[in-house]
Structure 1
Amino acid sequence: MQYLLLIYRNENYMTDMSAADRQKLMGEYGAYTQSIIQSGHFKAGDGLQPTTTATTVRVRDGKTMTTDGPFAETREQLGGYYLVEAKDLDEAVALAARVPEAKRGSIEVRPVMIYN
C-alpha cells in the first residue's frame, strides 16, 4: 500500500538556521532518502518552495479565483513529502518517525487512494 508522508514544519526554522545547521539537516535528509530507496520503500519525494510562492485556487459559480499563499494560517507549513510503499500503517508510521523533521515539526501519514 502507498502512503504519503507530509512533512510539516515552521518555515522560519529553516530561514533562521545557520548554513552549517542547514547543511547538517540536508545531510540527514540525504541519508534518510538513501535508506528508504535501498529498502524499497521509496516511490517519490521532494521538498517544496516556501508558502510565499504558493497559489491557492478555488472555483465558485464557474469562476476561477486565486489567492497568494496557502488557504489557512497555521504554525507549521507543508514543506515536502515522501511517497512510500509500506505493508501497513504501522510500517508507514515507522518510516515517518525517521524523517528528520519529525524531531521539530510533524509528519502526517495518509494512505493513497488507488483507483481501478
Structure 2
Amino acid sequence: MKYLLLICTDDSVTIDDPAELDAQAWVDEMDARGARLMGDRVRPAEDVTTVRVREGSLLLTDGPFADSKEHMAGFDVIDCADLDEAVEIASRHPMARFGMVEVWPFWTE
C-alpha cells in the first residue's frame, strides 16, 4: 500500500545540532529497503501560495492555509505492507523527533 509522508517542521523547537535533521541516512536506508518511491524538500512556508476559487473568483493567499508554527518541509511516498510498517518507517525519520511526520494512505478503490 502506498502512503504519503508529510514531513513537518516545528519552528518553536530548538535544535542543538542541525546535523540531527540530516535525513540522508534515512533516505539511503529506505531506498535500500525498496520502501521509498520518491520524496523531496519543499520551499519554506513564506514561499507558499494558497489557491481557492469561491463563487467564480480566484482567491490567493500568501503562505499555507493554516497559520501555525508547524509547516510542511518535505514529503516522501512510500510503499509498504500496511499501516504498521508505514508508522515504523515514519518513526525513523529524523523530523519525527523535532517536528512531526503525518502518514496519509493513498486512496484505493
Same fold (TM over 0.5): yes
Once the two structures are TM-superposed, the CA of residue 24 in structure 1 deviates from its matched residue by 4.8
Gaps of 5+ in 1: none
Structure 1 Cα separation of the partners of residues 36 and 8 of structure 2: 19
Query: Which one is further off, 37-46 or 70-79?
Result: 70-79
How many residues of Structure 1 are paired with residues of Structure 2 in the alignment? 109
RMSD: 1.8
Alignment of 1:64 onto 2:50 = no
Shift of 1:105: 1.0
Task: For residues 19-76 of structure 1, give each alpha carbon's deviation from its aligned partner in whole angstroms, at most 9, with x where no partner exists.
Answer: xx334532xx111001000100011101111100000000011111111001111121
Q: Which has the higher helix share?
A: 1
The residue identity in structure 2 corresponding to 1:71 is F
Matched position secondary structure for 1:84: strand
TM-score (norm. length: structure 1): 0.85
How much identity, in percent, do the aligned residues show?
39
Structure 2: stretches of 5+ with no match in the other structure = none
Q: Which has the higher strand share?
A: 2
TM-score by length of 2: 0.90
SS in 2 for 1:72: coil
